[in-house]
């Protein structure tokens, strides 16, 4: 197991532009997030919900700790974590919908256990597809939504990770919301019909 | 859609969303001239945005504690989640009772804080806080731990508004705000006089009711969350400061000692905010009339000693301002700094010039100060020791400057005598012997200290110079003292005698003996009736003419007696038949103070020696014992103990780690599974005295079965059909076996012998109840028909705590409470044989017989893990648990399916010595 210190310095190297640091860092973060998610999903009790943002937060505390970490590193950590938690959650959602089509058995499903900020009506797979589509026309905006939605970053933190001004981040966020709102509506009516 | 197109749409969309709806159409028409696609696109996106609401917006994490909703914490039903604070979640709870429904606020401490420490100190603090009965302070009602082990506090529910919001919403003028603030000051002053500092005063902790009454919340809780002495622990858990930085004093932020003036600082910040809407800022002038600004500035001075020294003085200055009188607060000017400097120079100059005269002056000054302090002094409680482990048996030196006491050390492995100055932390260790050294007593001239040494081989009185030096033995005493607790030694005022408890041989009761301090000669002072435990805990009256002592008829059936030293009369002083721990004479020799469970938990009581009803000693909280006075009667030292004993579950199939199943901050022990394995009966003191409780197999939904109220009630045992429970109790001072329905109702007394009948168990056919009786003068197993009929003696060679094997072929039993070994005899009346010689002495309650054999616990030594064994044809070690066990009780149970055992463990225990200064005799 890698020490907190090592992870902290990898984060620092990465935010200073060392791409290899990211490669070394990723597996640790991914493993930790998966472990946490599994842990939460397994010991689930009725009525107990887990928030993806809380999960990322816990992974951060676990891997990096709270002390002696520059704020920028924290934001960068959440930056990678956002991508990963999206992947983990979408995998779970896929497995779940596969399970539904299959034997119809009651599985411990993702949305039973994980409360997403969008509420119960949000279809995670639709959102994932919509975000991919958004990435094709505006990659930065898609990334911004990922950071906000999956890692719970504030607009300020998001602006820092994406190296844009706060005003731009706000503008991008509003437009992305409009675009995704319309896209999700279309997809959900397509699903129903 | 291609990226370029999207960029263009974005630009237009962005502008539109920032325009008022009325201006959009015009802008769109202008901007999208000739490009209706663009226009339609933007309009559809505006629609989508407006219906998106908070879609995709990140939300703050909600507390994961929603699982508490609808559940019961103690008697409180958790009804609604009403907020989150730094300390954890706050719920509205309802106490559902037969009589009325009461609304309470329940605060559940969040994970991550130092929970162990909190739970340990919670009880001690709760007792102190329970004394905070003031109309402007929300009462702390209760507390405990949730099934997940998180501590919670139950407080009076206040319907109100934070004081700042209240002032603003009602647009209160300055005078009304000041009057409201004065009420807050009075409440703070009240608490300070009881020695309780709030530590987190801020608007959110002061609610104003619709009647305009301010109520302070969370008094004293901050102390539990962040005590002065945070023990050094591994750094995994960081203690989160239970303070709010904006209102915290500089010393608090630095983590230094917190005193009443810390609250004064926070009050100053609060006052400034209530009057100006902002907190004081060093770089900014406070926009208030000069006097008020000075008052605020005085309260928030960085040096605690230069603030108002009490909330009363703070309030007084505000009143003076309201009445147009000059205020005490002055601007902190250059003049002040200069005068302070001058004073210092002057003192140095004076000392140089006056030489020897100075000490005399200082002495005079000190005396005047002392006298002044005395006349205005309020009783207050000061901790003397705060070590880990147990400190007990305090005794004042004759000059009142030092206290000798016994202390177990951090791990509790070696109890020795220590001597400590009362106004300092200097500690001298008088003894280091591996035996247990307890009950120190000073010679009247203060030159020597005698104590009781209880070793493996011998028990004896030793003496040494009080400053340390050669130890000498005064006299040997009878060694087995299992039933003797509390201080057992006192030195007569004339210096000639040491009083203690002793007996000539086993099978006889303890008696009070006087031992010649010089020659070790023994003289029996009392001769108690046979077959009882006997007379213990002697204390000389201040004039040396009488000795007060405790007569113990059996465990939990004790009273105070007085014998005259000249011989002859023995008088009974109390008539309670309850547990008593120790006693001392009140100043003046007209009263006796003792620690008793006469009403609920142990507390200090005082009774006149001429009779009358005992009265609770004020200010001293529960679980106090070993009272001792300074010779002038102004100071009382006592030991304040805490013990958290819980029931744990061990999975014999290794599927889970040992887990706390039945837990409260009080004593929980004596578990037994119902025959269907679905319920657990146990003994708990959570209602304030020891009673029988029943919960489900996971420790949930505890309900109280017996309601004897005060007397020791314990050892519940289910009948084989699961409908009845047998147990022992002492409602009238006579320990007997009772039976009652497992669903409640009236208990029925099964045995009636005046001597002890305890620790029942059922025969497998349900027709008989085995029990241990002391009626012959020695412990033997007896049995009584569950229906009715004569009792029969089962063992002849000693027996205690019997159980039949599941096939009813053997009866297994221990010999006595303090004897090693587990024995068995074939039923109905075969010869007895020793089955597990290694069962430790005192562990009569740590075994259970099942289909596979006998499970039992062994504890090689203090500090070592407790071992769980299975004895059948061979002996197998099943595993270990943390311990320490609670060997004074029946504390072990096997589940009917053979998959689990329950055992009792002391999770936290200790005691500290406190001093009540300026004690006032009634």
Cβ separation of A177 and B49 shorter than 8 Å?
Answer: yes
pLDDT for A52: 62
pLDDT for B231: 34
- Cα B354 from Cα B345, distance rounded (Å): 14
Which residues of chain B are within 8 Å of residue A138 when distances are taken between CB atoms?
A: 3, 6-7, 10
Which residues of chain A are within 8 Å of residue B69 when distances are taken between CB atoms?
A: 47
The whole-angstrom distance between residue B207's C-alpha and the CA centroid of its chain comes to 28
Best mutation site among B9, B61, B241, B700 for testing chain A: the one with the most A CBs within 10 Å? B61
Identify which of A122, A138, A181 has the shortest CB distance to residue B48. Answer: A181
The total number of residues shown for chain A amounts to 193
- N- to C-terminal Cα separation, chain A: 50
- Cα B1 from Cα B775, distance rounded (Å): 98
Cβ separation of A149 and B17 shorter than 8 Å?
Answer: no
Q: What is the mean pLDDT of residues B848-856?
A: 94
Q: What is the mean pLDDT of residues B698-719?
A: 90
ipTM greater than cut 0.90: no
Which residues of chain B are within 8 Å of residue A156 when distances are taken between CB atoms?
A: none
pLDDT for B919: 75
User: Which pLDDT band holds residue B852 (cuts at 50, 70, 90)?
Assistant: very high
Query: Which tokens belong to B810?
Result: 């053997």
Higher-confidence position of B907 and B345: B907
Task: Judge whether B824 and B813 are in contact, CB under 8 Å.
Answer: yes
- Report DSSP letters for B369-416, one per residue: HHHHHHHHPPPEEEES---SSBEEEEEE-TTSSEEEEEE--TTSS--E
**Full pLDDT tens readout for chain A, 193 residues:** 456 677 777 777 776 767 677 777 777 777 777 777 766 555 443 333 455 666 676 676 666 654 444 545 666 777 778 888 788 777 777 766 665 444 333 333 344 444 444 444 567 788 889 999 999 999 899 999 988 888 777 888 888 888 888 888 988 999 999 999 899 888 878 776 6
pLDDT for B318: 92
Which residues of chain B are within 8 Å of residue A175 when distances are taken between CB atoms?
A: 10, 13-14, 45
pLDDT for B781: 96
Q: What is the Cα Rg of chain A in Å?
A: 17
Task: Judge whether B304 and B261 are in contact, CB under 8 Å.
Answer: yes
User: Which pLDDT band holds residue B119 (cuts at 50, 70, 90)?
Assistant: low
pLDDT for B501: 95
Residues 124-143 of A with CB under 8 A from B: 136-138
- Cα B109 from Cα B87, distance rounded (Å): 5
- Cα B432 from Cα B412, distance rounded (Å): 13
Which residues of chain A are within 8 Å of residue B67 when distances are taken between CB atoms?
A: 45, 47-48
pLDDT for A157: 81
Q: How far is B45 from chain A (nearest CA, A)?
A: 5
Residues 49-68 of B with CB under 8 A from A: 49, 51-52, 55-59, 61-62, 64, 66-67
Identify which of A145, A171, A182 has the shortest CB distance to residue B14. Answer: A171
Within an 8 Å CB–CB cutoff, is residue A75 touching chain B? Answer: no
Task: Judge whether B727 and B692 are in contact, CB under 8 Å.
Answer: yes
Which chain B residue is nearest to residue A50, measuring alpha carbons? Answer: B64
Cβ separation of A178 and B13 shorter than 8 Å?
Answer: yes
Q: pLDDT digits over B8-21, tens only? A: 899 899 888 888 88
Identify which of A54, A118, A172 has the shortest CB distance to residue B55. Answer: A118
Max CA distance (Å), chain B: 122
The pTM score is 0.49
pLDDT for A152: 76
- DSSP 8-state code for residue B284: S
* A–B CB contacts, 8 A cutoff, strictly below: 88
pLDDT for A64: 63
Q: What is the mean pLDDT of chain B?
A: 83
Query: Which tokens belong to B640?
Result: 């304040």
* Torsion sign over Cα B190, B192, B197, B199: positive
- Cα A12 from Cα A47, distance rounded (Å): 39
Burial B655-669 (b: 16+ CB within 10 A, else e): eeebebbbbbbbbbb
3-state secondary structure of B678: coil
CA dist B588 → A88, B920, B921 (Å): 77, 12, 9
Which chain A residue is nearest to residue B56, measuring alpha carbons? Answer: A118
Q: How far is B36 from chain A (nearest CA, A)?
A: 18
Which residues of chain B are within 8 Å of residue A54 when distances are taken between CB atoms?
A: 61, 64
Q: pLDDT digits over B428-469, tens only? A: 888 988 889 999 999 999 999 999 999 877 899 999 988 888
CA torsion, ordered B769, B771, B774, B779, to nearest 10 deg? 130
Q: pLDDT digits over B538-547, tens only? A: 999 999 999 9
pLDDT for B505: 86
- N- to C-terminal Cα separation, chain B: 91
Q: How far is A54 from chain B (nearest CA, A)?
A: 6
Pairing type for strands B900-917 and B380-383 reads: antiparallel
Q: pLDDT digits over B47-62, tens only? A: 888 887 777 776 554 4
Cβ separation of B2 and A137 shorter than 8 Å?
Answer: yes
Task: Judge whether B300 and B314 are in contact, CB under 8 Å.
Answer: no
Which residue do the tokens 């070993």 mark? Answer: B626
Residues 1-30 of B with CB under 8 A from A: 1-3, 5-7, 10, 13-14, 17
Best mutation site among B2, B8, B9, B10 for testing chain A: the one with the most A CBs within 10 Å? B10
Q: pLDDT digits over B301-359, tens only? A: 888 888 998 898 999 899 888 888 888 887 654 444 444 444 444 444 444 433 333 33
pLDDT for B412: 66
Task: Judge whether A170 and A135 are in contact, CB under 8 Å.
Answer: no
Identify which of A50, A117, A172 has the shortest CB distance to residue B57. Answer: A117
Q: What percentage of chain B exceeds 70 in pLDDT?
A: 85
Within an 8 Å CB–CB cutoff, is residue A86 touching chain B? Answer: no
Q: What percentage of chain B exceeds 90 in pLDDT?
A: 38
Best mutation site among A179, A183, A186 for testing chain B: the one with the most B CBs within 10 Å? A179
Asked if residue B643 has pLDDT above 90, the reply is: no
Cβ separation of B2 and A117 shorter than 8 Å?
Answer: no
Which residues of chain A are within 8 Å of residue B56 when distances are taken between CB atoms?
A: 117-118, 145, 148-149, 177, 180
Asked if residue B869 has pLDDT above 80, the reply is: yes
Q: What is the mean pLDDT of residues B221-243?
A: 42
Residue spans of beta strands (DSSP E) within B69-147:
72-73, 76-84, 88-96, 101-109, 140-145
Q: How far is B112 from chain A (nearest CA, A)?
A: 12
Residues 216-275 of B with CB under 8 A from A: 238
Which chain A residue is nearest to residue B9, measuring alpha carbons? Answer: A175
Which residues of chain A are within 8 Å of residue B5 when distances are taken between CB atoms?
A: 137
Which chain B residue is nearest to residue A131, measuring alpha carbons? Answer: B56
Identify which of B5, B44, B61 has the shortest CB distance to residue A51. Answer: B61
pLDDT for B549: 96
Which chain A residue is nearest to residue B59, measuring alpha carbons? Answer: A117
Residues 13-72 of A with CB under 8 A from B: 45, 47-51, 53-54, 57, 66
Pairing type for strands A50-51 and B892-894 reads: unpaired
User: Which pLDDT band holds residue B238 (cuts at 50, 70, 90)?
Assistant: very low
pLDDT for B82: 78
Best mutation site among A81, A138, A181, A189 for testing chain B: the one with the most B CBs within 10 Å? A181
Q: pLDDT digits over B467-485, tens only? A: 888 888 999 999 877 767 8
Residues 83-102 of B with CB under 8 A from A: none
Identify which of B13, B57, B64 has the shortest CB distance to residue A175. Answer: B13
Q: What is the mean pLDDT of residues B89-100?
A: 73
Within an 8 Å CB–CB cutoff, is residue A122 touching chain B? Answer: yes
Q: pLDDT digits over B550-603, tens only? A: 999 888 889 999 999 987 689 999 988 888 989 999 988 999 999 998 877 788
pLDDT for B346: 44
Q: How far is A108 from chain B (nearest CA, A)?
A: 18
Cβ separation of A182 and B1 shorter than 8 Å?
Answer: no
Query: Which tokens belong to A39?
Result: 């842990």
pLDDT for B332: 56
Q: Give the residue among A152, A77, A93 at the shortest CA–CA distance from A118.
A: A152
């Amino acid at each position: 197991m890698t020490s907190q210190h090592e992870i902290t310095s990898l984060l620092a190297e990465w935010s200073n532009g060392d791409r290899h640091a990211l490669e070394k860092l990723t597996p640790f973060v991914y493993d930790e997030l998966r472990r946490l998610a599994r842990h939460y999903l397994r010991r689930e009790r009725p009525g107990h919900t887990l928030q993806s943002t809380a999960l990322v937060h816990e992974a951060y505390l676990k891997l990096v700790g709270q002390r002696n970490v520059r704020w920028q590193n924290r934001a960068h950590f959440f930056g990678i974590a956002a991508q990963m938690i999206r992947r983990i959650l979408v995998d779970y959602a896929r497995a779940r919908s596969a399970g539904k089509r299959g034997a119809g058995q009651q599985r411990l499903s993702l949305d039973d256990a994980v409360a997403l900020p969008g509420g119960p009506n949000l279809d995670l797979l639709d959102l994932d597809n919509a975000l991919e589509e958004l990435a094709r026309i505006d990659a930065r905006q898609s990334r911004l939504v990922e950071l906000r939605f999956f890692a719970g970053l504030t607009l300020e933190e998001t602006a820092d990770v994406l190296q844009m001004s706060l005003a731009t981040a706000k503008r991008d966020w509003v437009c992305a919301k409009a675009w995704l709102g319309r896209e999700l509506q279309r997809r959900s009516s397509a699903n129903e019909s | 859609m291609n990226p370029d197109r999207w960029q263009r749409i974005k630009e237009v969309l962005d502008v539109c969303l920032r325009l008022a709806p009325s201006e959009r159409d015009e802008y769109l028409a202008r901007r999208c001239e000739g490009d209706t696609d663009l226009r339609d696109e933007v309009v559809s996106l505006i629609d989508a945005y407006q219906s998106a609401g908070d879609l995709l917006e990140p939300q703050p994490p909600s507390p994961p504690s929603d699982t508490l909703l609808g559940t019961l914490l103690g008697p409180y039903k958790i009804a609604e989640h009403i907020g989150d604070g730094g300390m954890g979640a706050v719920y509205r709870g309802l106490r559902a009772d037969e009589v009325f429904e009461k609304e309470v606020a329940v605060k559940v401490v969040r994970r991550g804080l130092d929970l162990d420490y909190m739970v340990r100190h919670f009880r001690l603090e709760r007792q102190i806080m329970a004394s905070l009965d003031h109309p402007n302070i929300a009462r702390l009602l209760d507390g405990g731990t949730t099934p997940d082990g998180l501590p919670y506090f139950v407080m009076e529910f206040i319907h109100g508004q934070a004081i700042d919001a209240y002032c603003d919403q009602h647009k209160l003028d300055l005078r009304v705000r000041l009057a409201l603030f004065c009420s807050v000051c009075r409440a703070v002053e009240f608490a300070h006089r009881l020695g309780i500092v709030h530590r987190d005063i801020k608007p959110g902790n002061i609610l104003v009711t619709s009647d305009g009454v301010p109520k302070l919340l969370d008094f004293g809780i901050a102390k539990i969350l962040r005590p002065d002495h945070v023990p050094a622990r591994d750094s995994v858990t960081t203690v989160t400061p239970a303070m709010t930085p904006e209102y915290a004093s500089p010393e608090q932020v630095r983590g230094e000692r917190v005193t009443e003036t810390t609250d004064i600082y926070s009050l100053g910040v609060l006052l400034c905010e209530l009057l100006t809407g902002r907190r004081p800022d060093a770089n900014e002038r406070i926009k208030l009339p000069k006097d008020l600004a000075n008052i605020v500035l005085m309260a928030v001075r960085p040096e605690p000693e230069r603030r108002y020294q009490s909330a009363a003085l703070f309030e007084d200055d505000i009143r003076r301002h309201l009445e147009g009188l000059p205020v005490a607060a002055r601007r902190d000017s250059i003049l002040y700094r200069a005068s302070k400097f001058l004073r210092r120079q002057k003192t140095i100059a004076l000392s140089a010039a006056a030489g020897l005269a100075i000490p005399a002056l200082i002495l005079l000054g000190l005396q005047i100060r002392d006298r002044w302090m005395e006349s205005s002094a309020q009783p207050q409680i000061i901790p003397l020791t705060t070590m880990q482990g147990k400190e007990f048996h305090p005794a004042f030196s004759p000059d009142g400057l030092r206290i000798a006491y016994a202390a177990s050390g951090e791990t509790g492995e070696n109890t020795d005598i220590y001597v400590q100055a009362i106004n300092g932390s200097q500690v001298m260790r008088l003894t280091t012997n591996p035996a247990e050294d307890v009950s120190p007593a000073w010679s009247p001239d203060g030159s020597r200290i005698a104590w009781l040494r209880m070793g493996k081989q011998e028990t004896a009185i030793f003496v040494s110079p009080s400053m340390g030096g050669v130890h000498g033995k005064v006299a040997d005493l009878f060694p087995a003292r299992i039933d003797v607790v509390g201080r057992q030694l006192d030195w007569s005022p004339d210096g000639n005698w040491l009083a203690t408890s002793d007996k000539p041989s086993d099978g006889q009761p303890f008696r009070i003996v006087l031992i010649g301090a010089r020659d070790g000669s023994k003289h029996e002072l009392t001769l108690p009736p046979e077959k009882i435990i006997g007379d213990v805990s002697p204390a000389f009256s201040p004039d040396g003419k009488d000795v007060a002592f405790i007569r113990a008829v059996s465990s939990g059936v004790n009273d105070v007696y007085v014998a005259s030293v000249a011989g002859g009369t023995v008088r009974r002083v109390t008539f309670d038949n309850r547990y008593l721990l120790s006693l001392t004479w009140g100043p003046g020799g007209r009263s006796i103070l003792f620690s008793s469970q006469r009403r609920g938990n142990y507390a200090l009581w005082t009774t006149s020696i001429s009779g009358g009803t005992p009265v609770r000693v004020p200010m001293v909280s529960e679980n106090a014992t070993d009272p001792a006075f300074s010779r002038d009667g102004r100071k009382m030292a006592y030991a304040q103990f805490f013990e958290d004993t819980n029931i744990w579950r061990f999975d014999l199939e290794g599927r889970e780690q040992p887990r706390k199943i039945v837990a409260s901050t009080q004593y929980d022990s004596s578990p037994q599974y119902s025959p269907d394995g679905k319920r657990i009966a146990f003994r708990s003191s959570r209602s304030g005295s020891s009673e029988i409780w029943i919960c489900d197999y996971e420790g949930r939904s505890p309900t109280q079965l017996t309601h004897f109220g005060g007397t020791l009630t314990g050892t519940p045992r289910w009948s084989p059909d699961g409908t009845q429970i047998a147990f022992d109790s002492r409602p009238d001072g006579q320990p007997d076996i009772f039976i009652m329905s497992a669903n409640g109702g009236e208990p029925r007394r099964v045995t009636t012998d005046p001597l002890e009948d305890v620790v029942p168990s059922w025969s497998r056919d349900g027709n008989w109840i085995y029990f241990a009786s002391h009626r012959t003068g020695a412990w033997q197993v007896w049995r009584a028909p569950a229906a009715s009929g004569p009792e029969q003696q089962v063992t002849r060679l000693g027996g205690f705590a019997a159980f039949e094997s599941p096939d009813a072929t053997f009866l297994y039993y221990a010999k006595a409470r303090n004897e090693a070994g587990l024995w068995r005899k074939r039923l109905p009346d075969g010869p007895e044989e020793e089955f597990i010689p290694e069962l430790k002495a005192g562990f009569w309650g740590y075994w259970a017989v099942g289909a596979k054999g006998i499970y039992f616990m062994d504890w090689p030594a203090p500090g070592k893990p407790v071992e769980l064994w299975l004895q059948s044809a061979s002996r197998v070690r099943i595993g270990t648990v943390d311990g320490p066990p609670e060997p004074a009780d029946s504390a072990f149970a096997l589940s009917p399916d053979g998959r689990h055992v329950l055992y009792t463990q002391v999770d936290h225990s200790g005691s500290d010595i406190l001093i009540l200064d300026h004690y006032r005799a009634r």
